[in-house]
Amino acid sequence: MVGAILKLRPACLSNLMLCYWLTRAHVDFGCAPAQRFGHDDAAIVAAFRRYVERVRHG
């Protein structure tokens, strides 16, 4: 699961920002994503994918 997140992580997202995202409360989980490791792995990867997705206007 961590490997999947690291593959999705864009170069502009620092390790510190990744740690921040993993440890702050997230609306999808009601807690930090790191607290759900091993339980909601697919949901965590999907939430991270939405977080790093580029905004498209048009």
Q: Label each residue of 20-47 as H, E or C.
A: HHHHCCECCCCECHHHHCCCCHHHHHHH
**Which of the four pLDDT bands, split at 50, 70 and 90, describes residue 54?**
confident
User: What is the chain's length?
Assistant: 58
HSE (CB half, 13 Å, CA atoms) of 46? 6
Residue ranges covered by each domain of the chain: 2-52
Cβ proximity of 12 and 52 under 8 Å:
no
pTM over 0.85: yes
User: In the prediction, which pLDDT does 44 show?
Assistant: 97
Please write the tens of the pLDDT for every residue from 3-48.
999 999 999 999 999 999 999 999 999 999 999 999 999 999 999 9
- pLDDT tier, 49 (very low <50, low <70, confident <90, very high otherwise): very high
What pLDDT does residue 56 have? 81
